[in-house]
Structure 1
């Protein structure tokens, strides 16, 4: 009964499962009616959407990105003079207790990662990012959270002008000079971030990936269930691949 409830929920009641089911039914209907080209397109879209919406599909896409860099040992992390957090989004006006602007999931986990590194060894933290869609900069929202967690305000530099990762890199390069930097961002985003920071002239760089989207959980049939969460993870992976392609062609 529990399994049947899950099937009904994820394949009939909720998107993207119900959209996938509709496309597959429509595709087979068109094929039966002899409209073969339209049926092939419809079925292809349905299968691609299904693949991107499952944990299996999303993991296949994002794992190569997340495996690009390993978490460095503590002695390497503690050798950094600066901790640099790359913002990943802010929810303006969404409160988190006394904070007026909450961070989205990626930004929050990156900030917690930096907070833990600061706990290992206090040093300067650069909170980098300006939200294009929101009027409250990511850098300031990250700073607010760090201060509320107990980080000394004098140790936080809010860089709130950069609009993307390359601008993050250019502005941070001016702040840190030649000092060693621990770069903190989501694991799936690290490959592009390291490339752009190196291109901007930050050579003494220690990648510290956080916010891993994949897990080592045992295999179950539910990994084949389409969900909005895994479709979002696939979208993040595709965005990174497009970004890497764009900057490789731009060289």
Structure 2
């Protein structure tokens, strides 16, 4: 199968299994049964859909889903010696590059590798982030790009070719770090976790529902758990 097509099919499947997609599917089932004049079944699926939306946008549920991921690794403070590379996964989403800058100024002679593929934009995330780092004062020769990988698994394979078994610092979103670390270690690499973009759970109370932020946090966690499951089924972690 064509690599691009395979990637797109995986993305489509991932979207189809996300919480909001499930809510839409339940609503469509309710409409289907209503059209067939099966009122009780229509009510049943509509009720399930409404309750599901309330659940996935409920702060305690979002916090419960996200906390195990974000608490897996703490902010990197004790930096080992002789680190040659920092890998910045996924471009500069949510100012992730600031963590790379912080660590760059603590590690002599380190190089930053930016990553991030783009299907449609002619300028990849890796290139955009590299430009930002250089504009922030990092010498151009200390910024490398890794723009071909489309998935975290592919990032690990490219990094294996570059560093072998040498330890390096891995920066990504805190909620994505557990999956990334599993993939990189399975590939025989020695990453040192430096999580960024923490979404610290908020004490918003049990009455807090239908919040877009909480829905987004639920979907972030859901996407990670699905990713871990898919990679386990494929034997990649």
Q: If the length of structure 2 is used for normalisation, what is the TM-score?
A: 0.77
**2-side partners of 1:211 and 1:223: how far apart?**
26
Match of 1:247 among 207, 213, 231: 231
Q: Runs of 4 or more off by more than 3 Å in structure 1?
A: 220-223
Residue in structure 2 matched with residue 73 of structure 1 by the alignment:
77
How many residue pairs match? The answer is 205
Residue in structure 1 matched with residue 88 of structure 2 by the alignment:
85
Q: Secondary structure at the match of 1:75?
A: coil
Match of 1:54 among 55, 58, 70: 58
Question: Residue 82 of structure 1 contacts residue 179 of structure 1 at CA under 8 Å; is this kept in 2?
Answer: no
1:175 aligns with 2:179: no
**1-side partners of 2:200 and 2:44: how far apart?**
32
Q: Secondary structure at the match of 2:176?
A: helix
Q: If the length of structure 1 is used for normalisation, what is the TM-score?
A: 0.73
**Offset at 1:222?**
8.3
**2-side partners of 1:200 and 1:132: how far apart?**
25
**2-side partners of 1:36 and 1:158: how far apart?**
57
Residue in structure 2 matched with residue 159 of structure 1 by the alignment:
146
1:43 aligns with 2:47: yes
Q: Secondary structure at the match of 1:134?
A: coil
**1-side partners of 2:120 and 2:207: how far apart?**
33
Q: Secondary structure at the match of 2:123?
A: coil
Q: Secondary structure at the match of 2:165?
A: coil
Question: Residue 56 of structure 1 contacts residue 223 of structure 1 at CA under 8 Å; is this kept in 2?
Answer: no
Q: Secondary structure at the match of 2:112?
A: strand
**1-side partners of 2:82 and 2:195: how far apart?**
16
1:229 aligns with 2:213: yes
Structure 2 unaligned blocks of 5 or more = 1-19
* 1:148-227 to 2 correspondences below 5 Å: 148-202=135-189, 204-215=190-201, 217=202, 219-221=203-205, 224-227=208-211
Residue in structure 1 matched with residue 97 of structure 2 by the alignment:
111
Give per-residue Cα distances to partners, 1:97-136, cap 9 Å, x unaligned.
xxxxxx542xx2x211111111212411111221234332
- Please, what is the CA RMSD of the aligned residues? 2.7
Structure 1 unaligned blocks of 5 or more = 1-15, 89-102
Give per-residue Cα distances to partners, 1:199-247, cap 9 Å, x unaligned.
2221x221111111124x5x34487132222212211111111110011
Q: Secondary structure at the match of 2:156?
A: helix
Q: Secondary structure at the match of 1:126?
A: strand
